[in-house]
Protein backbone atom coordinates (compact mmCIF):
# COMPACT_ATOMS: atom_id res chain seq x y z
CA UNK A 1 0.00 0.00 0.00
CA UNK A 2 2.83 2.39 0.81
CA UNK A 3 4.44 1.76 -2.59
CA UNK A 4 1.15 2.36 -4.37
CA UNK A 5 0.46 5.59 -2.47
CA UNK A 6 3.95 6.93 -3.11
CA UNK A 7 3.69 6.07 -6.80
CA UNK A 8 0.35 7.84 -7.11
CA UNK A 9 1.32 10.89 -5.09
CA UNK A 10 4.85 11.52 -6.34
CA UNK A 11 5.04 9.77 -9.75
CA UNK A 12 8.34 8.05 -8.98
CA UNK A 13 9.98 5.51 -11.25
CA UNK A 14 10.75 2.02 -9.92
CA UNK A 15 14.38 2.80 -9.05
CA UNK A 16 13.47 6.00 -7.16
CA UNK A 17 10.72 4.21 -5.29
CA UNK A 18 12.98 1.29 -4.37
CA UNK A 19 15.63 3.70 -3.11
CA UNK A 20 13.07 5.72 -1.13
CA UNK A 21 11.67 2.58 0.51
CA UNK A 22 15.20 1.37 1.34
CA UNK A 23 16.18 4.71 2.89
CA UNK A 24 12.91 4.79 4.86
CA UNK A 25 13.62 1.35 6.34
CA UNK A 26 17.17 2.31 7.28
CA UNK A 27 16.11 5.57 8.89
CA UNK A 28 13.07 4.06 10.62
CA UNK A 29 15.36 1.63 12.45
CA UNK A 30 17.28 4.61 13.86
CA UNK A 31 14.29 6.89 14.53
CA UNK A 32 13.84 7.71 18.18
CA UNK A 33 11.44 10.65 17.82
CA UNK A 34 8.74 11.76 15.43
CA UNK A 35 9.74 15.38 15.90
CA UNK A 36 12.71 15.26 13.52
CA UNK A 37 10.72 13.92 10.58
CA UNK A 38 7.67 16.06 11.26
CA UNK A 39 9.88 19.16 11.49
CA UNK A 40 11.15 18.40 8.00
CA UNK A 41 7.61 17.88 6.72
CA UNK A 42 6.48 21.15 8.33
CA UNK A 43 9.30 22.97 6.56
CA UNK A 44 8.59 21.43 3.15
CA UNK A 45 4.84 20.88 2.89
CA UNK A 46 1.81 23.14 2.78
CA UNK A 47 -1.21 22.44 4.97
CA UNK A 48 -3.06 20.56 2.23
CA UNK A 49 -0.14 18.20 1.68
CA UNK A 50 0.30 17.63 5.43
CA UNK A 51 -3.34 16.59 5.60
CA UNK A 52 -2.73 14.32 2.59
CA UNK A 53 0.15 12.66 4.48
CA UNK A 54 -2.23 11.93 7.36
CA UNK A 55 -4.79 10.53 4.91
CA UNK A 56 -2.16 8.29 3.31
CA UNK A 57 -1.19 7.01 6.77
CA UNK A 58 -4.85 6.10 7.33
CA UNK A 59 -4.93 4.33 3.96
CA UNK A 60 -1.98 2.19 5.04
CA UNK A 61 -3.79 1.36 8.29
CA UNK A 62 -6.95 0.32 6.48
CA UNK A 63 -5.07 -1.74 3.88
CA UNK A 64 -5.28 -4.84 6.08
CA UNK A 65 -8.87 -4.12 7.13
CA UNK A 66 -7.94 -3.72 10.81
CA UNK A 67 -7.47 -0.44 12.71
CA UNK A 68 -5.36 -0.93 15.81
CA UNK A 69 -5.50 1.67 18.59
CA UNK A 70 -1.69 1.99 18.45
CA UNK A 71 -1.92 2.92 14.77
CA UNK A 72 -4.55 5.54 15.51
CA UNK A 73 -2.44 6.94 18.34
CA UNK A 74 0.60 7.23 16.04
CA UNK A 75 -1.38 9.00 13.32
CA UNK A 76 -2.91 11.34 15.90
CA UNK A 77 0.60 12.21 17.16
CA UNK A 78 1.84 12.88 13.63
CA UNK A 79 -1.22 15.00 12.83
CA UNK A 80 -0.67 17.09 15.95
CA UNK A 81 3.02 17.59 15.15
CA UNK A 82 2.07 18.62 11.60
CA UNK A 83 -0.53 21.06 12.96
CA UNK A 84 -3.33 19.24 11.15
CA UNK A 85 -6.60 20.25 12.78
CA UNK A 86 -8.79 17.68 14.48
CA UNK A 87 -11.48 18.26 11.84
CA UNK A 88 -8.97 17.62 9.01
CA UNK A 89 -7.69 14.53 10.88
CA UNK A 90 -11.23 13.12 11.05
CA UNK A 91 -11.97 13.99 7.40
CA UNK A 92 -8.74 12.27 6.32
CA UNK A 93 -9.73 9.16 8.27
CA UNK A 94 -13.20 9.12 6.69
CA UNK A 95 -11.77 9.51 3.17
CA UNK A 96 -9.40 6.59 3.81
CA UNK A 97 -12.26 4.48 5.19
CA UNK A 98 -14.33 5.20 2.07
CA UNK A 99 -11.42 4.28 -0.21
CA UNK A 100 -10.88 1.05 1.69
CA UNK A 101 -14.50 0.08 1.19
CA UNK A 102 -16.39 -2.43 3.28
CA UNK A 103 -14.12 -4.41 5.56
Measured at the CA of 96, the angle between CA 93 and CA 99, to 5 degrees, comes to 155
What are the domain boundaries of the chain? 1-31, 34-103
> With the C-alpha atoms ordered 11, 41, 35, 100, is the resulting torsion angle positive or negative?
negative
Give the N- to C-terminal CA distance of the chain in Å, as an integer: 16
Identify which of 88, 79, 2, 75 has the alpha carbon closest to the alpha carbon of residue 41.
79
Q: Which pTM was predicted?
A: 0.83
User: pLDDT (tens digit, 9 = 90+) per residue, 30-67?
Assistant: 877 888 889 999 999 999 999 999 999 999 999 988 88
Amino acid sequence: MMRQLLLEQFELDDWELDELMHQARVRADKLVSLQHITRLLNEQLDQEMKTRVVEMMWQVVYADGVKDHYEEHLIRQVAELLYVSHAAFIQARHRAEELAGPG
